[in-house]
Amino acid sequence: MILTAIKNFFAGLAKPKTPQAPKNPYFCNQWSLFLAQEVSFYRSLNEQDKVIFEQRALLFLETTTVESGQLNVTEQDKLLVAASAIIPVWAFPDWHYLNLKTVYLLPHAFNENFEIGQPDSCITGMVGTGPMAGKMILSQPALHLGFSNDRDKQNVGIHEFVHLIDMMDGKCDGYPERLLEHQYSIPWFELMEKKIQEITRRKSNIRQYGATNPAEFLSVTSEYFFERPQMLQQKHPVLFASLSEIYQQDVREIKADIKIRKKDPCPCGSGKRYKHCCIEVA
């Protein structure tokens, strides 16, 4: 169904341009509803930006395969992968993940040999290097949990896509050169070192894994930035300002605890209230 929508979308690009419709005609209403229910970033957008988000999701899925040999990949899986990709680079409309071709979903956490159900199967996401370059591996349950629980400062999809952003300059070092101008490099590295020391001394509410190395610090704090921006600004104002500069976004309007209410307009665009429209489908 998503593949058909993508083909229709690109076919439409060749036609004469008409005034922008309030809804994306190539994006199923149920997909919009799913994003509104599960993705707090999408919920925070105005109607015009939601249409742009949907268009970018279709473009991402046109160039990136989401597949699995161990489970049936659903449209919801693909939408969450696309959302994970779009959120960090929302301020960069022409961004393309040139270092990614395929996202593989596994039914559970895995180990370094991609085996599930083993004592050391504790990895939920990984970006491939060397022979695995151009590939990302995600635990499907962890992908969904990253969006359904948007208060724990963790989102494995966003985490792994931030690694890809970091790696666009050929190095995974916590310094996303494509997003951050060179004159900010020294202050950013100094801030990372300071914050990693705070985590190590357990004087920080940043997840412990962020102290592993600068690359993991960037990904872990980016999860925090996009899930709990107001808390990050309160607890770590300098870090919040730095990440705002990197991502060129004001994410303070993202509210993790706001869901669709029964009296709200239905996200499907019908004009009806949610309780009189898609609530039963949800």
Does residue 281 form part of some domain? no
Does residue 86 form part of some domain? yes
Distances (CA, A) of 66 to 62, 103, 187: 10, 5, 37
Does residue 151 form part of some domain? yes
Q: 211-259: per-residue pLDDT in tens?
A: 999 999 999 999 999 999 999 999 999 999 999 999 999 998 776 544 5
The residue type found at 38 is E
**Three-state SS at 234:** helix
Does residue 58 form part of some domain? yes
Taking the C-alpha atoms of residue 104 and residue 64, their distance in angstroms, rounded to an integer, is 11
Query: What pLDDT does 184 receive?
Result: 83
Which residues face 164 on adjacent strands?
none
Taking the C-alpha atoms of residue 43 and residue 215, their distance in angstroms, rounded to an integer, is 29
Does residue 16 form part of some domain? no
3-state helix, strand, coil in the chain (%, to 5): 50, 10, 40
Number of domains observed in the structure of the chain: 1
Element (H, E) at 103: strand 100-106
The residue type found at 60 is F
Does residue 144 form part of some domain? yes
Does residue 2 form part of some domain? no
Q: What are phi and psi of 104, to 5 degrees?
A: -100, 135
DSSP class of residue 274 equals: G
Q: 132-178: per-residue pLDDT in tens?
A: 999 999 999 999 999 999 889 999 999 999 999 999 999 999 999 99
What is the chain's length? 282
pLDDT band at 190 (very low <50, low <70, confident <90, very high): very high
Q: 264-279: per-residue pLDDT in tens?
A: 666 555 667 756 775 5
CATH for 235: 3.40.390.10
Q: 78-122: per-residue pLDDT in tens?
A: 999 999 999 999 999 999 999 999 999 999 999 999 999 999 999
Query: What pLDDT does 49 receive?
Result: 96
Which residue segment(s) compose the domain that 36 sits in?
27-276
**Which are the contacts of 277, defined by CB distance < 8 A and separation ≥ 6?**
266, 268, 270
Nearest by Cα to 260 from 44, 90, 84: 44
Does residue 21 form part of some domain? no
